[in-house]
Structures are given as structure tokens and as C-alpha cells.
Amino acid sequence: MAAYKPLALMAADAEDLKAVSALLQDAIVKLGDTAYLPDERRFVFMANRYVWEKKPGFLSPGLRVRTGVHFDDVTAVKARGVRMEAKEAFIDILCTDYDGDENGGTITLNLAGGGTIALDVEAINVNVKDVSPPWRAARRPKHETA
């Protein structure tokens, strides 16, 4: 396996959040690995992130890596179409959106199957960090095109 450099980045505005969205596309998250910490104003999760930034070889399905993500300045979390209490269930992140301005808004995690997790935030303040060595993915994610 070619050298892999772990990802560590921060997002502080809507443009940065677009990069986070691209990097988290197709990340798989066990609901038991999510938590809203209201006293810390933080929403956290661990994900098995598909490594989109490293092109797979011709016959390779690519890589996944364990990644920690935390959103700070979170004032509320609302789930739609997701049973957050189903701790053994998995979700697949498709993308993140932001509706707001520099004074706050809502970051929405859009999930495969149509569910969402919406984070009301006072500011965009996101940290993403790979925390494991990569492993070979079972397959490369595929999406239907419109």
C-alpha cells in the first residue's frame, strides 16, 4: 500500500464545510458511536471514512480509515428519519449542508435513505481527524447519476 498521510482539518466557514462534506461522503457511522454533549455544546461521532482523496488503483476498491469528527458551538440536535436510540444501527453520510450565515444556522448531515441529522450551531466549528491506519475497503461506493 502506498504511503498514506492521515487527515486532520478544521472548518470555520461554509466554504470549509464543503471540503468536509466531500471528505465525509459515504462515511459509515454506527449510531452508538455518536453523542450530543449539550454541556460542552458538541456533537461527536466516529466514522469509517472512505478515503476519497487517495485514488484507488485500477483493480483496488480503495481505502477506509477510522475518523473522529466533532462539531462545536452546537445548541440543539434534531434527527428526522433516524432512530438515534438504535445504537447498533448504521447510517451512511451522503453530504453536509449549511443554512445560515456567520451568526449561526443549521448544519445538516444528509443520510442515505433520506434521513437527516440537523445541528443548530452558533458558528461553523468542525474538526475532522483520522485516528487509525487505513484498511482496504470492501468496495468502492457508487452513486446513481441523475
pLDDT band, very low/low/confident/very high, at 59 (cuts 50, 70, 90): low
The residue ranking higher by pLDDT, 80 or 56, is: 80
Among candidate residues 114, 112, 115, 108, the one with its CA nearest the CA of residue 80: 115
CA distance 125 to 135: 28
Give the number of other CB atoms < 10 A from CB of residue 53: 12
| Angle of CA points 52, 88, 85, to nearest 5° | 110
pLDDT-wise least confident of 3-7, 34-38, 109-113: 3-7
